[in-house]
A = this chain, B = another copy of it.
């Protein structure tokens, strides 16, 4: 549902921010023409944002500043779940040598809170703050499997089930089956569903109330993860990390 009385000026500001983010450094005219706004209006928004650190001027082009990271970093740091999970995810990365990730759900999307690279980790284009559809990653499936069914329906209604690759989930039935599997095993697997050749294993973190707080995963190239690993040592490690977080978060 849209806001009843949206502040249109704020929406324009956010549109400027979004456009500036997509284009990276650029000028007033370029922004204005792509936003269907006059140059003066765009200019006013930019200087206002600049005044508050959200936008920088370099020469006579504009770009987004690090204020967003300041606010976002503060929000993340304030999350108890992040504080508790961060060292465990790092430890998991060091221990396995692979890429370990931490994801939470927000407004029906997955948000990566952090990623930690082990010694041999693949270099994916994920980054802290990045969003992903929940049904397309092991992390997301681990979360969906432990959300109330009504919530899952809401999320699917809102964001759909677009396939990212031919192997990924694309229908409600496939999703339902996949979530059953996750609940049976206690962890989620992504075998090339998001990126060919990439295997990923994720475990949910639940509060004592049963509510899902997020999920922890390890991503590695298929060449280094045998089928036995995928159902043997690797899940043990990821589940153990998730379990430690669960214990620490409930004091």
Contacts and interface: CB of A to CB of B under 8 A. Distances in A.
B129 A70 contact: yes
B52 A14 contact: yes
A14 to B, nearest CB: 5
A72 B129 contact: yes
Category for how many chain A residues contact B: 35 or more
The complex is assembled from copies of this chain, and their number is 2
A104 B51 CA distance: 19
A60 interface: no
Contact of A74 (B10, B44, B127): B127
Nearest to A14: B52
Nearest to A87: B117
A66 B127 contact: no
Contacts of A54: 14
A73 B128 contact: yes
A7 B44 contact: yes
Interface in A4-30: 4-7, 9-11, 13-14, 17, 21, 24
Interface string A102-145: 00101100010100010000000001111100000000000000
A3 B45 CA distance: 9
Interface centre among A50, A65, A87, A129 (most CB of B within 10 A): A129
A73 B64 CA distance: 11
Contact of A9 (B9, B66, B129): B9
